[in-house]
Structure 1
């Protein structure tokens, strides 16, 4: 009953068809013919209105074939065939919805698990008392605040991001990371909202509000992706004119050969366009679902078509090609300053910065047990550094030119390949520098080789780092081009100027948001990336894994391939049936029924986009010769200050 109410045209057509059959069996063929004809023409008129509206809007479709087929079968007296065509058209919508639901399974499964409530410990009782007496209150997850203590029971979804307070716990993070095995966490480690608790109840402290938690961000992206419309869902329309012309031509030839207008109607019956209209949207939804299963959220279905054609890939360095967690390897002091004093003051200033290097400086200071001072005022200068005032002393941390503006006498530190320096000025005097190193990701070179195998001809690094550091990382990764010492506007202009398109940009930070937006396809490494970068990007990778970039391109290529295959299967089968109908071998009723089989074949093929396909197809493996950039790589240096990307 629910299905009949959902698809009233299907229900009405079935009822009308049964009524016509009853009339025929009761010996009233004329009434049956008139009734069926009126119903079929009414449906044709309804379809024609939508067709005309699209034509006025400049969208040429192949709905005209369906309307012509219904009208022509009514005119030649094939009223049963006309009813079957109407049923086929209505049934095609139902089949498409079913296939779309199957294709969206991975997307919608995330939406169904959104945590709604949380078990919060009441204030005023100790943890032991709360645990023993059940002093917890069930509150909406949206009401939980940072610092609240929550109880997560066995088998429950972690509602918000937080830190584990219990001694240990086991969590299923497959819906977030794709990792099928449970992950063990110990006290003090972070918990991601959306992960599933194991067999023991655990306590956690909330570190992010509902709207800022990892799972909520993923769900928001998934919902946006699920609701998107692809420019390519009407992919078949580009074949509309030649296909329609061919159908009319074959129908006319059949009419001339046989001398009967019924032959024209029989050809048009098998030329109805359901397979062509269904194939592309089902394949694209399948591709989006396949990507989501691998931790890749494609925000708009049309992005998959762009991904399939990518020729140039540009990468940010810090946090993208490298891990983005630079470690302190040394403190160089100047004048009377000690190492701990330089590091402590730098960390105190960096606590007011959102830059990825700031977190590393603070971590290094905490490791040494240094206490942070509170500033009376602090200002961050994007991509340059931060200035803060402590007890009347100005502390400036960042690039050498930026620090030199407040503390003359800055001496640039000699660095080995892969190292970077953060400079510190205190009360107008150069205090020293912090030498750090951010290693390249293990999967970086393999990812570049896979992209080359997928047809990418140019790879570029866009970074604010010094040229020497950038070149070192580029050599290790196998990049073909380096643009060093870039500010955010420089990156935007560099991407706009890249000649081989489409261009894909991969980044993770706030300063990457503008360039992600201007690229043909922007990919945000969202595991630790900023909200701004995620909002500007077309694709968000929710895992801390660079190889997913190559996976996204591969899924895009397979999705388009399956969509086009499905369309051509529909066209091929329809043309074969049209030729047979033109020769008089396919009566109208048989032709209408055969189209349902064509629909089914098209849908089943389009659903192949859900599968990964033949492993390694079209991709050079890491062991194959695909290395580039070790020699002869063009390098350009932009006139900007260095070392804080």
Structure 2
């Protein structure tokens, strides 16, 4: 009862129409037909005037919509004395808003659930400036500071990103990644805000403030997606003028052939535009929700439409097509240099680098028991490397040309396919190289194969890495068109020239942000990618799987197909019923009620966007056949942090 009362308050036009309709029916029953007619005519006239004001505002903004049909239908029913039918049309139009809200809430449930679960409170045990204590202090999640030690109780939401201090823990990350099974984390592992703790209380140290944490970034993306204007207005507009013209022609022909003006009204009550105005938006909201459930945040319906139309795809290599977790496979010291010292000093310097190779070097050093030393001075030189002063020694780690510019010469390391090398200089002298290998993602080949098998005509790799490494990975995943040794500006230039369009670009790092923004659809691998890439992208994949790209394209295509089909169902049913109404066998009141069933049918179909056909990457990987010759083009001299 309370819900019903709140609905009446939320939709005042529906409430007023129901009250006026009840009054009109009562007056008719007591033989006060003239009074009921005047009441209905006055009320509907007010609605017509209000609708006309809205139409004029839309025209001034350059938008001609479908409301003209509703207005003509209301005027026609009043003109022929079908005032009850006119009230039903008003109820149908106002009821369409309520129906759209209901369908939209159903379609947006996954997006809404993300917003509803935003962490609000954190239990702080210690702060860097406060002496350790077992007592906890409850603070707002926004007030947590970097370095705070937090307690997360069983089944609570992790409030901020941090590092696990307890021995281990189990976390539900389904709202972040779409992974339905709980994941186990060990001491020192990163745990993400928004994940749900398991059955044991854990301790963690905050590494980011709330606003910078993963979940808050996701919430910001979701709000952008909710507030963005989907292309469904354009979809409806494509049909608005033709549908209006056909409807008026059919109604006019029925009037002219029968000589009965009431036929004009009887036809037009079946031409109301609710299917066009409601079904398509519901389909796009359903697509956004389905994507969120799959661990893909899409920034609005316009992106869904672009995903559906993708004809070319470009991929970054490291961290995108590869796992982004390179392992150290060899240490090649210069003569007289101790391998352990080389690794320890290089790893200490790489603490100050965001490059993916740096993480592999640091991880190996820590695994071997080395304590990474702090630098008295450190800075990263974009696309070249990092320099740091460690124990009074200047350590530089980076690409070979950068190291050679400091040392005068160096010994190039012979690399196997798929390997990369980071070169090291100490106090101006060449000290050696660290060889790493980063394997392709297991689902990369299937993703490329699926795209090729579903209408994507061209697949390209755009990478800053060395040509041999790029070629090796490209051959593994089935990409024939390789552009290596690129700076971010080179990637943007090449992306702008790729045909056919639209172009889908997938990347994960800070240096990918420009090309993601330049592509028709930019997709960021956001599970451990940079905030800059996520901000520049049109869609963010929260699950660390490149296969989600194929899911995103599939969702886009399913959504667009459902939206168009829902529109055509509405048009077909409306025109079919209008043709039947020309015979006079459907009274205006009955026609108005039947049109409500047409609305319901199209909206129920539009909700099919919440589901779709599965993506079979395994079959696509088997079907992928790489051309014999790998095409490689260069943007200039070697510019990556790695080289052959």
TM category (shorter chain) comes to over 0.9
**Residue 619 of structure 2 corresponds to which residue in structure 1?**
621
Q: Determine if contact 1:422/1:643 at 8 Å carries over to the other structure.
A: no
Matches of 2:468 and 2:74, distance apart in 1: 71
Question: What do residues 587-643 of structure 1 show as CA deviations (whole Å, max 9, x unaligned)?
Answer: 111110011000100110000000123x459x89336533234x1332212212154
**Residue 14 of structure 1 corresponds to which residue in structure 2?**
18
* Helix, strand or coil at the partner of 1:158: coil
After TM superposition, the score normalised by the length of structure 1 is 0.95
Q: Shift of residue 167 of structure 1? A: 3.1
Q: Shift of residue 242 of structure 1? A: 1.0
**Residue 489 of structure 1 corresponds to which residue in structure 2?**
489
Matches of 1:88 and 1:117, distance apart in 2: 45
Q: Does residue 67 of structure 1 match 2:65?
A: no
Which deviates more from structure 2 when the two are superposed, residues 456-465 or residues 204-213?
Answer: 204-213
**Cα pair distance change 1:570/1:506, threshold 3 Å:** same
Question: What do residues 467-488 of structure 1 show as CA deviations (whole Å, max 9, x unaligned)?
Answer: 1100000000001310000000
1:121 pairs with 112, 120, 125, which one? 125
Q: Does residue 182 of structure 1 match 2:182?
A: yes
Instruction: For 1:329-348, list aligned pairs within 5 A.
Output: 329-348=329-348
Question: What do residues 270-299 of structure 1 show as CA deviations (whole Å, max 9, x unaligned)?
Answer: 101011110110000000000000100001
Matches of 1:623 and 1:542, distance apart in 2: 23
Which deviates more from structure 2 when the two are superposed, residues 51-60 or residues 280-289?
Answer: 51-60
**Cα pair distance change 1:106/1:467, threshold 3 Å:** same
**Cα pair distance change 1:628/1:233, threshold 3 Å:** farther
* Helix, strand or coil at the partner of 1:600: helix
**Cα pair distance change 1:189/1:347, threshold 3 Å:** closer
Q: Shift of residue 348 of structure 1? A: 2.5
Matches of 1:257 and 1:71, distance apart in 2: 21
**Cα pair distance change 1:626/1:371, threshold 3 Å:** closer
**Residue 262 of structure 1 corresponds to which residue in structure 2?**
262
**Residue 98 of structure 2 corresponds to which residue in structure 1?**
94
Matches of 2:391 and 2:174, distance apart in 1: 49
Q: Shift of residue 203 of structure 1? A: 2.1
Q: Shift of residue 13 of structure 1? A: 0.7
CA RMSD of aligned residues (A): 1.7
Matches of 2:620 and 2:306, distance apart in 1: 25
For structure 2, the 5+ residue unaligned runs are: none
Instruction: For 1:171-570, list aligned pairs within 5 A.
Output: 171-390=171-390, 393-570=393-570
Question: What do residues 191-225 of structure 1 show as CA deviations (whole Å, max 9, x unaligned)?
Answer: 22212222222222222211122222212211221
**Cα pair distance change 1:244/1:642, threshold 3 Å:** same
Q: Shift of residue 126 of structure 1? A: 5.8
Matches of 2:132 and 2:381, distance apart in 1: 44
**Residue 148 of structure 2 corresponds to which residue in structure 1?**
148
**Residue 595 of structure 1 corresponds to which residue in structure 2?**
595
**Residue 637 of structure 1 corresponds to which residue in structure 2?**
634
Matches of 1:576 and 1:622, distance apart in 2: 42
**Residue 86 of structure 2 corresponds to which residue in structure 1?**
82
Q: Shift of residue 393 of structure 1? A: 4.2
Matches of 2:195 and 2:583, distance apart in 1: 62
Matches of 2:374 and 2:162, distance apart in 1: 25
**Residue 604 of structure 1 corresponds to which residue in structure 2?**
604
* Helix, strand or coil at the partner of 2:529: coil
2:48 pairs with 31, 44, 60, which one? 44
**Cα pair distance change 1:153/1:521, threshold 3 Å:** same
Which deviates more from structure 2 when the two are superposed, residues 172-181 or residues 502-511?
Answer: 172-181
For structure 1, the 5+ residue unaligned runs are: none
**Cα pair distance change 1:379/1:154, threshold 3 Å:** closer
Q: Shift of residue 369 of structure 1? A: 3.0
Q: Determine if contact 1:487/1:640 at 8 Å carries over to the other structure.
A: no
Q: Determine if contact 1:106/1:289 at 8 Å carries over to the other structure.
A: yes
Matches of 2:349 and 2:165, distance apart in 1: 29
Matches of 1:346 and 1:562, distance apart in 2: 55
Q: Shift of residue 50 of structure 1? A: 1.1
Q: Determine if contact 1:316/1:463 at 8 Å carries over to the other structure.
A: yes
* Helix, strand or coil at the partner of 1:621: helix
**Cα pair distance change 1:449/1:352, threshold 3 Å:** same
Which deviates more from structure 2 when the two are superposed, residues 333-342 or residues 78-87?
Answer: 333-342
Q: Shift of residue 460 of structure 1? A: 0.5
Q: Determine if contact 1:306/1:520 at 8 Å carries over to the other structure.
A: yes
Matches of 2:237 and 2:61, distance apart in 1: 14
Q: Determine if contact 1:420/1:643 at 8 Å carries over to the other structure.
A: no
Which deviates more from structure 2 when the two are superposed, residues 381-390 or residues 8-17?
Answer: 381-390
Q: Determine if contact 1:282/1:603 at 8 Å carries over to the other structure.
A: yes
Q: Determine if contact 1:454/1:553 at 8 Å carries over to the other structure.
A: no
Matches of 1:122 and 1:206, distance apart in 2: 11
Matches of 2:372 and 2:170, distance apart in 1: 34
Residues paired across the two proteins, number: 636
Matches of 2:622 and 2:340, distance apart in 1: 48
**Cα pair distance change 1:377/1:137, threshold 3 Å:** closer
**Cα pair distance change 1:186/1:424, threshold 3 Å:** closer
Matches of 1:425 and 1:172, distance apart in 2: 44
Q: Determine if contact 2:400/2:641 at 8 Å carries over to the other structure.
A: no
Matches of 2:346 and 2:169, distance apart in 1: 36
After TM superposition, the score normalised by the length of structure 2 is 0.96
Q: Determine if contact 1:284/1:301 at 8 Å carries over to the other structure.
A: yes
Q: Shift of residue 189 of structure 1? A: 2.8
* Helix, strand or coil at the partner of 1:229: coil
Q: Shift of residue 183 of structure 1? A: 2.4
Matches of 1:176 and 1:201, distance apart in 2: 21
Q: Determine if contact 2:487/2:639 at 8 Å carries over to the other structure.
A: no
**Residue 112 of structure 1 corresponds to which residue in structure 2?**
116
* Helix, strand or coil at the partner of 1:58: coil
Q: Shift of residue 394 of structure 1? A: 3.3
Q: Shift of residue 451 of structure 1? A: 1.1
**Cα pair distance change 1:188/1:623, threshold 3 Å:** closer
Q: Determine if contact 2:551/2:615 at 8 Å carries over to the other structure.
A: no
Q: Determine if contact 1:523/1:537 at 8 Å carries over to the other structure.
A: yes
* Helix, strand or coil at the partner of 2:585: coil
* Helix, strand or coil at the partner of 1:386: strand
